[in-house]
């Protein structure tokens, strides 16, 4: 099912098992996992595929899990790692976006734009009021990301009423531990592109990062209220989605 075509890229929802397997193969390569990257969430999520129309190659993929509200959060991937009690009172529909990856050999910024345009169309069609997920930093060592984490602490922590609490056994409590003033340039250079986009739209993060040694990542819970996206950003997203 086609969602969006812009320039040389086309985004669509997977409709066949073969397409989901193709997404899993791209994830395995992008995340450099020893075993194939697949799990039970693949069976209950919508999978978005972004292809290069010239070659047909899959260049980006992610999956989305639709939840009717905060009461459904136990079904989410994020609930394995974060205590989400505060968000259970959220009344609107939610989408968890996960396993976002771009072919590591591709560096065209239009791929990310088309992916977000497709996400915008899906969110609008489903009447979604909050987007959330785990935003990942490569590797499990924190030293290279201290300015990025300091920036998250100073500017982007989530509202106290919704802030996830610690659940995972291995975490980096950056909001409590870091005292440094962030170097903004270094922070943005080390910020993952997906998280940077969330933040530009008004997204917020947890006060700690989970150390996920199985995936070889550090990740932060990231939330974005659709109604809180700045009007100028909404216009840009809808211009792409349109």
For 90-118, write each residue's pLDDT tens digit. Answer: 999 999 999 999 999 999 999 999 999 99
Provide the token pair at 42: 């693949």
CA of residue 20 relative to chain centroid, distance = 18
- Output the CA torsion sign for 145, 218, 189, 122: negative
Domain count, the chain: 1
DSSP string of 167-235?
A: -SSSEE-HHHH--PPP-HHHHHHHS-HHHHHHHHTT-EE-SSEEEETTTTEEEEEEEEEGGGS-HHHHH
Q: What CA–CA distance (Å, rounded) separates 146 from 129? A: 31
Instruction: Give 1's pLDDT tier (boundaries 50, 70, 90).
Output: confident
Beta-strand relationship, 217-225 and 128-138: antiparallel
Beta bridge partners of 9: 6, 52
Q: Is 227 exposed, middle or buried (0-12, 13-18, 19+ CB in 10 A)?
A: exposed
Alpha carbon separation from 49 to 8, 107, 119, 168 (Å, rounded)? 14, 17, 11, 30
Q: How confident is the model at residue 222 (pLDDT cuts 50, 70, 90)?
A: very high
Q: How far apart are CA 94 and CA 70, in angstroms?
A: 8
User: What CATH number does the domain containing 160 carry?
Assistant: 3.40.630.30
- Asked if residue 242 has pLDDT above 80, the reply is no
Closest CA to 132 of 181, 98, 176, 158: 98
Residue 3, pLDDT > 90, answer no
pLDDT at 236: 80
In the numeric block, which tokens belong to residue 194? 């997906």
pLDDT in tens, 6-54: 999 999 999 999 999 999 999 999 999 889 999 999 999 999 999 999 9
Residue 209: name the closest of 119, 134, 126 by CA: 134
Helical axes 109-126 vs 231-241, angle rounded to 10°: 100
User: Is-contact 85 78, C-beta < 8 A?
Assistant: no
Task: Render the burial of 64-88: b for 16+ CB within 10 Å, e for the rest.
Answer: bbbbebbebbeebbbbebbebebbe
Residue range of the domain that includes 229: 2-241
- pLDDT tens, residue by residue, 130-175: 999 999 999 999 999 999 999 999 999 999 999 999 999 999 999 9
Checking if the pLDDT of 240 tops 80, the result is: no
């Amino acid at each position: 099912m086609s969602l969006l075509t812009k320039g040389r890229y086309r985004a669509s929802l997977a409709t066949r098992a073969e397409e989901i397997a193709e997404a899993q193969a791209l994830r395995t390569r992008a995340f450099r996992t020893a075993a194939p990257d697949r799990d039970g969430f693949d069976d209950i999520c919508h999978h978005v595929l972004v292809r290069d129309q010239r070659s047909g190659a899959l260049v980006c993929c992610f999956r989305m899990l639709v939840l009717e509200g905060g009461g459904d959060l136990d079904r989410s991937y994020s609930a394995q790692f974060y205590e989400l009690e505060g968000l259970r009172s959220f009344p609107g529909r939610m989408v968890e976006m996960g396993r976002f990856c771009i072919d590591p050999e591709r560096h065209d910024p239009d791929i990310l734009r088309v992916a977000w345009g497709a996400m915008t169309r899906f969110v609008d069609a489903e009447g979604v009021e909050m987007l959330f997920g785990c935003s990942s930093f490569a590797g499990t060592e924190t030293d290279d990301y201290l300015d990025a984490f300091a920036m998250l602490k100073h500017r982007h922590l989530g509202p106290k009423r919704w802030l996830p609490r610690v659940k995972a056994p291995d975490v980096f409590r950056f909001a409590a531990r870091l005292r440094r003033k962030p170097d903004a340039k270094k922070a943005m250079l080390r910020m993952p592109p997906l998280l940077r986009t969330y933040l530009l739209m008004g997204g917020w993060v947890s006060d700690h990062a989970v150390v996920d040694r199985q995936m070889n990542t550090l990740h932060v819970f990231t939330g974005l209220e659709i109604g809180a996206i700045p009007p100028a950003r909404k216009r840009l997203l809808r211009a792409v989605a349109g």
